[in-house]
Amino acid sequence: MHNLLGRTIAGFIFLICLLGLLLFGVAWTLNFWQAWIYLIIFASSSAIITIYLWKKDTKLLERRVNAGPAAEKEIYQKFIQSLASIAFIGIFILAALDHRFFWSHISIYSVIVGDILVIFGFFIVYLVFKENTYTAATIEIAKSQKVISTGPYSVVRHPMYSGAFILLLGTPLALGTWWAFIACVVIIFVIILRLLDEEKFLTKNLKGYKKYSEKVKYHLVPFVW
């Protein structure tokens, strides 16, 4: 348990420091109020969810800590995760460059909308974690795992990705940039590739998933796809 706590805290600190370094380092200024607010929202939301998992579901927390390209077992998923990581970093680099060279002109109201989307995205992720203890960061089937069809899973098959989708779309606005949407498009494309590959895996390996997918029609966005 102490090892899990240490890894969780270390991973959290590393991520927040990395985002701060990318934003303020590339922008070459600390006078970037959009970035400060974003980091506060991102860090506090992540911390709240992490504390919840630590108190309520340490097994899920451990599944989430084991993340990234190195944790994936399939070569294709290693490639997908690597591409997603690069594109994710790209969002913050482009946002910082935009702030430094004044490429975009975004109103404060748009920034506020972006912050709200980020919070809402995290909230959906929280609902997913609350509903499904098997939400691993890698594509795998745990022992005794069963199909979850309640809560957000009754609306779309992959609500975790839906939350990430909203969070990602809100990030460029929250950081006051249009250009970072370029990297967002790449990540969304990667999410769709991962989602489709995961569905093939689950249909083949998780009992009842095919029937569930026939009942819940939408993959990611309700009434759209």
Contacts of 223 (CB under 8 A, 6+ apart): none
**What is the tens place of the pLDDT at every residue in 163-186?**
999 999 999 999 999 999 999 999
Lowest mean pLDDT among 2-11, 59-68, 99-108: 59-68
Average pLDDT over residues 41-62: 93
Domain ranges of the chain: 2-215
Task: Give the pLDDT confidence score for residue 71 in this predicted structure.
Answer: 66
- The number of helix segments (H) and strand segments (E) in the chain equals 9, 0
Average pLDDT over residues 108-123: 98
First-residue to last-residue Cα distance in the chain = 40
Cα 61 to Cα 11, 51, 148, 168: the distances in Å are 12, 9, 18, 22
User: Can you tell me whether residue 52 is helix, strand or coil?
Assistant: helix
CB 78 within 8 A of CB 8: no
Q: Alpha-carbon distance 49 to 69, whole Å?
A: 22
At the topology level, CATH places domain 2-215 in Four Helix Bundle (Hemerythrin (Met), subunit A) (1.20.120)
Average pLDDT over residues 189-211: 90
Give the position of tokens 């005794």.
144
**What is the tens place of the pLDDT at every residue in 64-103?**
877 667 667 778 888 888 999 999 999 999 999 999 999 9
Reported as a pLDDT band with limits 50, 70 and 90, residue 134 is confident
Check residue 221 and report its DSSP letter. S
Contacts of 169 (CB under 8 A, 6+ apart): 117, 184
Reported as a pLDDT band with limits 50, 70 and 90, residue 128 is very high
Average pLDDT over residues 188-194: 90
Higher local confidence (pLDDT), 81 or 112 = 112
